[in-house]
Amino acid sequence: MSKKLFNLVSVLVLTALILAACGPAATPAPTEPAQPTGTILERAMAGEFKGAVVTATGPFVDQDAQKFEAMIKEFEDQTGIDVQYQGSKEFEASIKAAVTAGNAPDIVDFPQPGLLSTFVAQGKVTDLGQFFDRATLEQTYNPSWLDMAMLQGPNGKIMAGVWERVNGKSLVWYPKKAWDEAGYKIPATWDEMKALMDQMVADGSTPWCVGIESGAATGWVATDWMEEIMLRTTSLENYDKWVAGTLPFSSPEVKNAAEVMSDIWQDKYVYGGQAGIVKTSFSDAPLPLFDADGPKCWMHKQGNFVTSFFPEGSQAGVDYDFFYFPPLDAAYGKPVLVAGDIWAAFTDEPAAIAVLEWFTHGSHLKSWMQAGGAIAPHKDADLSWYGNDIERGVAKIIQEATSVRFDGSDLMPGQVGAGSFWKEMSSYVAGAEDLDTALKNIDASWPK
Amino acid sequence: MYADKPLNKFLSSLAVNGVLALICLLWTIPTIGLLVSSFRDRLDINSTGWWTIFPHQDWVKVAELRPEEGVDRNTPMTLGGVTHTFEEFRDGVQVGNQRYKWIGNRRIGYVQVQEYRWTANTDFTLENYRQVLAGGNYTATLKDGTTVTELGDDMSGSFLNSLAVAIPSTVIPIALAAFAAYGFAWMRFPGRKMLFILVVALLVVPLQVALVPILRDFVTLGINGTFLAVWLAHTGFGLPLATYLLYNYISELPRDIFESAFIDGASHFTIFAQLVLPLAVPALASFAIFQFLWVWNDYLVGLIFIGATPGSQLVTMRLAEIVGSRGQDWHLLTAGAFITMLLPLTVFFSLQRFFVRGLLAGSVKG
Amino acid sequence: MATSSSPSAPPGAWGRTAIALVPLLATLAGLGWGFLILRDLQVPQLVLVLLAIVWGVGGMVLLFTTANFFAEQLPGPWIARVQAWIFVGPAMLMLIWALALPAVRTVIISLYDSIGTKFIGLDNYLGVFTDANMLTVFRNNLLWMIFGTAFTVSLGLLVAVLSDRSRFETLAKGLIFMPMAISFVGAGVIWNFIYAVRPADGAQIGLLNAFWVALGGQPEAWTAFFQPWNNFFLIVIVIWLQTGYSMVLFSAAIKGISTEILEAARVDGANEVQVFFQIMIPMIMGTIITVTTTIVIFTLKIFDVVIVMTGGQYGTSVIATEFYRQYFTYNNDGYGSAIAVVLFIAVIPVMVYNLRQFAQPEAF
């Protein structure tokens, strides 16, 4: 603390004397490795970069940041490298300002590859391909993860980052105790699910809880539903084309997906109806599952992170559980939608690269997996490491999926995936626009 | 003379205070809601309105009636001596002064016997405040299976940091602006008009467009991450409004009070320091409040210019972390919002004594 | 140089000026010495923070004082020239650095493509003005400007005048001011509560829907339905937040009207309405213009309330939120900057009006 103040005071004086400009900040000269042997991580473990400081940032704060600190402490103890993480609730603004001003932290956690891709296109991101060997990485990752980390730089594709955590999305949460008491059966197919929904309505309940409100990101819940239904109603090729922008939103496939969704998002099927959908925060949406007077709704589709928004003290496997969002058409198998966090480097300092290399091993995530809230994309992460059955189950669903696809809106260009797609779906759900207009507007916003 | 009509005076005072009371009531209700909610449990906040803490008439549960095992709930059921279908119970059945109402789903629900009477939700808790003040305590499981519970930083450190940011970020722009306002109002120099228009024009520049260039300069100068960086940024962002408001006030000070001073040979600096500043106290105090509030409640500027420096968290950053990354932890937000409000309100009430009539009396002839 | 521009300077005047530099230099040296002391001081954080504040704030005051002393010792005609810049210069330098240059930079970026590599002329502006979405944005800003400003200014004035005549002045002003002390996040929480919607079968936790349902309505999502009227539910929030601002300024201005004038008018038989319109209003006209100008500009760049309440969804986005999305979220620098430049253009009428009002009091 006093050191910072001292710095501050010294700078004040310098400025007052109009000398500040003459005194460039001293940057420690990088120490040249004498005899590099082994990978960068191995060298780090041998203490070669002891004392180095790696700055890190990302969108996660609070509990997740604390779990991260607890996890990274092990790395720090082993290598003597100090990793300083500072999360930001205004991640988009702070990372853009920092990168553009040439002040980016060494390593950055991106919740969406789409956000990272612009920095890659500007040539700001370190190509990890120069440090890591693809064959080695394939021992710990499925090739599809590695492919998704390849982004277009100014001089061709580069390995822009490493996947660290993954979030399984195709999950439907239900209040297990009440569910069993009521004698409802977990639906294995879309038709069973529809029948169950009608049964619940006949029993005087509303089947679903849906809430799409999320501040500046309002609408993303709707895009997740669209992606799930796309995967269940059309081929993977079409899904990929849709994400890449070659299959327009106004095509019959996409329109059909929206209609299937609207079929469920009716006033009789969703708690609170249309008003409830548009104004319920996604974080409050699951609460009616746990209402003191018995469930107000019975099903809530959301990624595995949602358990941290369940009421305190509710027990996995007792108070709640989940099932796989059923397939609609047997022809398209059992697809799973995922999202994930990718870490990129804005420096080629070996200490920073060593952290990222550490992330490429599933074992690094073990403490976080035990604490709960993290699912590893790594092949070498053991199912037994998960601290609870829920997350073990999610990991299993991802492993057993006939196909895995990444959250489409995260991969689309920002204007669409974090813009018009959210916005137009919100407008459509709020009844301000008809479906055709909404889909046409999304198509129009696609960057030329 | 109006003072001779006590009745009129009384009526006009009644009207004044009545209208004022009405506006104040409207203005205060939202804040009362916040205050009340900050003492309620998360589940209560999400299930009943905060105004239910006041006594009100409502249907209150007095008993539960459950259909016996094996009763077909799809046909009329006999409960508590009355026979009705599920649908009828769900809409509520009036029995004497009681109401039989089905709660929940047909399969697992039950009938609640309710009476319409006075009630109030008076379950209050200090838990929200305890949680916010204690910071983020958390439990982590390490790889070897042991659990550690670590105490989050308490708020006092960030409180001090916020003060170290807010005080100079309030005083410096006001001092610079007061000089500039006097210069614009009472001095003549080339470009005076153009520069003033620049001040007005810059009022509209959103600070978001300036973040990147300023950050770049700070990085070049090597001062990013220090308090000075935030002081300078807040000073820059606050100056247009400060200069504009103070100009408005200082330029309207009556000319004759300076005239004699000039004739007596006083310099601009003497007049500024000894005549203008004391007279401008209400304006200075007003702006000091605004600027202090903006800086105190700011999150983005602090985050970008010192956010990355460990140990220099501000109150707003601390709060943002406590309330979680994705959620709307309303119970914590309400408590946190109240804690951060306390200091600004103190500042307001302590500066309010400067807003009194007669400060100009004696020196101003009109 | 000195002789060419100030031929009247008496010989020896420059020598005196040189001597006058001494206090200025001494101040600089003193600040440096103070810095050395501060650097080596081992005291608790609180004390260090206090000393740093004193050092920074006090140092600035000293520098102003000594710089003026220096200016006043300059040969005759130089005093006025230099002194004006000592008064105005520091503020203008800060302004130009912190806001004017970034604004110019924004204009330049707006002429380039999204990643700032290709010059594309006015294409971004063409896009901005032909995009149907942007037309909604401009409409919303207009609503904000007209209704937000009208209510904030008139209510602030009303409260200032009424409280001036009330015995409960401190209390009333404190209550009206209170919302200003709440951060935007806090305000968002409060108003999300008021507009909260719950299904019709359960209890409403939102005040507005509780009233509405009690009157026989169906619970409504106030900030999402009824476009474009939902914007008004957001504008109400800013009126609630900012009335305290206009009230404080109006109150300060009203306190500046001398009691004698008001008394004199009343003695002459003017009733209170006449006193208000014929004496008070003209006397605080300058403040009314100032407050209106600042609130017009504030509503033009309204950002936080919209982000916190709807994220700009449901047809409520405004210029600043659109800029933020394009520039930060979509990394669409050129287009985003063009949107920001529209803000600069929108304020031109306000500037012209202020230029007219820019009183030209006779300077000394």
* B50 domain-assigned: no
Co-location of B212 and B76 in the same domain: no
Write out residues 161-200 of C within 8 Å (CB-CB) of B: 162-168, 170-186, 189-194
Is A345 in the same domain as A277? no
Angstroms from C196 CA to nearest CA on chain A = 7
Q: Give chains near A: 3+ CB pairs under 8 A.
A: B, C
Q: Does residue B318 belong to any structural domain of this protein?
A: yes
- Please answer yes or no on whether C311 and A418 come within 8 Å at the CB atom: no
CA-based nearest residue in chain B for residue A26: B222
Task: Mark whether A285 and A378 lie in a shared domain.
Answer: no
Section A20-38 average pLDDT: 45
Strands A171-174 and A321-324: antiparallel
Considering CB atoms only, which of C197, C315, C329 is closest to A414? Answer: C329
Rg of chain B on CA atoms, in Å: 31
C42: pLDDT confidence band, cut at 50, 70 and 90? low
The answer to whether residues C67 and C214 belong to one domain is: no
A262 φ/ψ sector (left φ>0, alpha ψ -120 to 50, else beta):
alpha
What's the total number of domains in chain A? Answer: 2
Q: Are residues A312 and A372 in the same domain?
A: no
Could you tell me which residues come within 8 angstroms of residue C7 by beta carbon, excluding any fewer than 6 positions away? none
Average pLDDT rounded to a whole number, residues B244-269 = 82
> In terms of domains, do B337 and B194 share one?
yes
DSSP 8-state class, residue B300: H
- Between CA C132 and CA C134 the distance in angstroms is 5
Q: What is the pLDDT of residue A197?
A: 94
Alpha helices in A187-291 (DSSP H): 190-202, 220-233, 236-244, 252-264, 273-279
Q: What is the per-residue pLDDT for B131?
A: 74
In terms of residues, how long is chain B?
366
Chain C segment 237-276 residues within 8 A of A by beta carbon are none
Asked if residue A113 is part of any domain, the answer here is: yes
C224 interface with B at CB cutoff 8 Å: no
Q: Do B103 and A12 touch (CB under 8 A)?
A: no
Whether residue C47 lies within 8 A of chain B, CB to CB, comes out as: no
Instruction: Report which residue type is found at B231.
Output: W
For residue B46, the tally of other CB atoms under 10 A from its CB is 19
Residue C55: per-residue pLDDT = 77
Whether B311 contacts chain A with CB within 8 A: yes
CB-based contact A427 C331, cutoff 8 Å: no
Q: In whole angstroms, what separates CA B108 from the centre of its chain?
A: 44
Chain C residue numbers touching A206 (CB-CB < 8 A): 199
User: Are the beta carbons of C308 and A215 separated by less than 8 Å?
Assistant: yes
| Whether the predicted pLDDT of B178 surpasses 60 | yes
The mean pLDDT value for B336-349 works out to 80
Instruction: Let me know whether A332 and A197 are in one domain.
Output: yes
Is A240 within the bounds of a domain?
yes
Residue A210 and residue A126 share a domain: no
Q: Of the candidates A359, A298, B36, B151, which has an alpha carbon nearest to the alpha carbon of residue C189?
A: B36
Range with lowest mean pLDDT among B97-106, B357-366, C29-38: B357-366
Yes or no, beta carbons of C90 and B179 under 8 Å apart: yes
Same-domain check for residues A223 and A290:
yes
- Computed over every residue of chain B, the mean pLDDT equals 79
Q: Are residues B97 and B22 in the same domain?
A: no
> Given pLDDT bands bounded at 50, 70 and 90, which one contains residue B25?
very high
The enclosing H or E element of A359 equals helix A350-359
What does each C-alpha distance from C253 to A442, B281, B353, B360, C360 come to in angstroms? 51, 12, 15, 11, 20
For residues A390-418, give the mean pLDDT. Answer: 86
CB contact under 8 A, B268 and C87: yes
B159 and B282 housed in the same domain:
yes
Residue A111 sits in the same domain as residue A126: yes
Residues 15-44 of A with CB under 8 A from B: 15, 20-21, 23-26
Taking residues C105-131, report their average pLDDT.
86
CA atoms of B173 and B284, how far apart (whole Å): 11
* DSSP state for residue C178 in the 8-state scheme: G
Mean pLDDT of A232-241: 92
Are residues C170 and C60 part of one domain? no
C345 occurs within a structural domain: yes
Residue B101 has pLDDT above 80, yes or no: yes
Average pLDDT over residues B94-119: 85
pLDDT of residue A424: 92
Which residue of chain A has the CA closest to B64? A293
The answer to whether residue A26 scores a pLDDT higher than 50 is no
Q: CA–CA distance from B248 to each of A353, B279, C279 (Å)?
A: 57, 13, 19
Distance CA C138, CA C343 (A): 10
List the end-to-end C-alpha distance of chain B, in Å, as a whole number: 23
Partner residues linked to A38 by β-bridges: none
- Which of the listed residues C109, C140, C168 is the one where a domain comes to its end? C109
Residue at A195 is within a domain: yes
Map tokens 């015995």 to a residue. Answer: C167
Structural element, H or E, at residue A110: strand A107-110
Percent of chain B with pLDDT over 70: 85
Residues A178 and A157 in one domain: no
The residue of chain A with its CA nearest to that of C330 is: A414
For C122-142, what is the mean pLDDT? 89
Cβ-nearest to B186 among C105, C249, C363: C363
Instruction: Give dist(CA C159, CA C153) in Å, integer.
Output: 10
Count up the domains in chain C and report the number. 2
Angle at A215 between CA A446 and CA A219, to 5 degrees: 45
User: What's the average model confidence in pLDDT over B311-328?
Assistant: 65
Please indicate, yes or no, if residue B130 is contained in any of the structural domains. no
How far the first Cα of chain A sits from its last, in Å, is 50
Domain end call among C75, C109, C143: C109
B216 and B270 fall within a common domain: yes
Residues C140 and C93 in one domain: no
Do A184 and A279 reside in the same domain of the chain? yes
Q: Do C313 and A422 touch (CB under 8 A)?
A: yes
Q: Does position B69 have pLDDT exceeding 80, yes or no? A: no
* Average pLDDT in chain A: 85
Is A1 a member of any domain? no
Same-domain status, C286 and C220: yes
Domain of residue C28, residue span: 2-109
Tokens of C116: 């700032």
CA distance A86 to C125: 37
Average pLDDT over residues B143-147: 50
pLDDT tens-digit profile of A149-187? 898 888 889 999 999 998 889 999 999 999 998 899 999
User: pLDDT confidence of C358, banded at 50, 70, 90?
Assistant: low
Of residues B95 and A128, more confidently modeled: A128
Query: What pLDDT score was predicted for residue A36?
Result: 56
| Residue A219 forms contact with C (CB below 8 Å) | yes
In angstroms, the CA A37 to CA B308 distance is: 33
pLDDT at residue B365 greater than cutoff 50: no
- pLDDT class for B70, splitting at 50, 70, 90? confident
Whether the predicted pLDDT of B142 surpasses 50: no
B177: contact with C, CB 8 A cutoff = yes
Q: Report whether pLDDT(A28) > 90.
A: no
B92 and B228 both lie in a single domain: no
- pLDDT-derived band at A239, boundaries 50, 70, 90: very high
SS3 C37: helix
pLDDT for A326: 93
Do B262 and B347 fall into the same domain?
yes
Shared domain check, A246 and A185: yes
| Among candidates B187, B206, B336 on the partner chain, residue whose Cβ is nearest the Cβ of C343 | B206
Clarify whether residues C232 and C84 are in a common domain. no
Shortest distance between the Cα of C311 and any Cα of chain A, in A, equals 4
* Chain B residues within 8 A of A61 when measuring between CB atoms: 320-321, 324-325
Instruction: List phi, psi (to 5°) of A131.
Output: -110, -35
B266 is a domain residue? yes
The predicted structure's pLDDT at residue A349: 92
Q: Are residues A288 and A161 in the same domain?
A: no
Q: A273 in a domain, yes or no?
A: yes
Rounded distance between C-alpha atoms, residue C106 and residue B213, angstroms: 10
| CB interface of A with C, residues 402-441, below 8 Å | 413-415, 418-419, 422-423, 426-427, 430-432, 441
Instruction: Find, among C263, C346, C264, C261, the residue nearest to C302 by Cα.
Output: C346
| C326 contacts in chain A (CB < 8 Å) | 415
> According to the model, what pLDDT value does residue C7 have?
44
CB pair distance less than 8 Å for B325 and A60: yes
Q: What is the mean pLDDT of residues B161-172?
A: 86
Any chain C CB within 8 A of the CB of B332?
A: no
- Does residue B362 lie in a domain region? no
> Chain B contacts of A291, Cβ < 8 Å?
47
B216 CB within 8 Å of a chain A CB: yes
State the smallest CA–CA distance between residue C275 and chain B in angstroms: 13
Q: What is the pLDDT of residue B201?
A: 85
Total number of domains constituting chain B: 3
Q: What are the backbone dihedrals phi and psi of residue A19, each rounded to the nearest 5 degrees, phi first?
A: -115, -10
Please indicate, yes or no, whether residues C97 and C147 belong to a single structural domain of this protein. Answer: no
Residues B345, B358: Cα–Cα separation, whole Å: 25
Q: Mark out the alpha helices in chain B (DSSP H runs).
A: 6-38, 42-47, 86-91, 127-134, 155-186, 192-202, 207-221, 227-251, 256-263, 268-271, 277-279, 281-297, 300-306, 315-322, 330-351
| pLDDT value at A198 more than 80 | yes
Determine the average pLDDT of the residues in A383-405. Answer: 86
Contact C189 B337 (CB under 8 A): yes
* B310/A contact by beta carbon, under 8 A: yes
Residue B2 has pLDDT above 50, yes or no: no
Kindly determine whether residue B282 and residue C267, on different chains, have CB atoms separated by under 8 Å.
no
Range of the domain at B12: 2-44
State chain C's mean pLDDT as an integer.
Answer: 82
Is residue A270's pLDDT more than 90? yes
List the single residue in A10, A271, A426 with the smallest CB-CB distance to C314.
Answer: A426
| B neighbours by CB contacts (3+ pairs under 8 Å) | A, C
Supply the CATH number for residue B284's domain: 1.10.3720.10
Q: Does A1 touch chain B (CB under 8 A)?
A: yes
Q: Which residues from chain B sit within 8 angstroms of residue C242, using beta carbons?
A: none
Same domain, A142 and A51: yes
Q: Does residue A152 form part of some domain?
A: yes
pLDDT at C29 over 70: yes
Å from B253 to nearest chain A CA? 33
Inter-residue contact B200 to C99 (CB < 8 Å): no
- Asked if ipTM goes beyond 0.85, one says no
Give A127's contacts (C-beta < 8 A, 6+ positions apart): A153, A158, A159, A160
**Looking at residue A81, which CATH number applies to its domain?**
3.40.190.10
Determine, for residues B348 and C181 on separate chains, whether the beta-carbon distance falls below 8 Å: yes
Instruction: Judge if C75 and C176 occupy the same domain.
Output: no
Question: A129 — contact with chain C (CB < 8 Å)?
Answer: no
pLDDT value for C39: 58
Confidence at residue B363, expressed as pLDDT on a 0 to 100 scale: 36
Contacts of B172 in chain A (CB under 8 A): none
Nearest chain A residue to C206 by CA: give it: A279
In chain A, the residue whose alpha carbon lies closest to the alpha carbon of B157 is A1
Provide the 8-state DSSP code for A309.
G
C207 shares its domain with C99: no
Residue C40 belongs to a domain:
yes
Q: Is C114 a member of any domain?
A: no
Amino acid at B233: A
Least confident of A119-123, A407-411, A435-439, B305-309: B305-309
Min distance A250 CA to chain B CA atoms (Å): 32
Instruction: Quickly state the pLDDT bin for B146 (edges 50, 70, 90).
Output: low
Question: What is the CATH classification number for the domain harbouring C248?
Answer: 1.10.3720.10
Residue-range definition of the domain harbouring residue A246: 168-338+406-445
A326 lies in a domain? yes
Q: Is C331 on the interface with B (CB under 8 A)?
A: no
The reply to whether residue A294 touches residue B309, judged by beta carbons under 8 angstroms, is no
C162-167 average pLDDT score: 85
The closest CB to that of A219, out of C198, C313, C331, belongs to C313
- For residue C90, which residues of chain B lie inside 8 Å, CB to CB? 176, 179-180
Are B108 and A1 a contacting pair at CB < 8 A? Answer: no
Across the interface, whether the CB atoms of C59 and A12 are under 8 A apart is answered yes
**Same-domain check for residues B104 and B179:** no
H-only helix segments in C73-183: 76-95, 101-109, 123-130, 132-143, 149-164, 169-177
Lowest-pLDDT range of A5-9, B231-235, B332-336: A5-9
- pLDDT for position A35: 54
Contact B74, B86 (CB under 8 A): yes
pLDDT at C256 over 90: no
Rounded to a whole number of angstroms, the distance from the CA of B338 to the nearest CA of chain A is 20
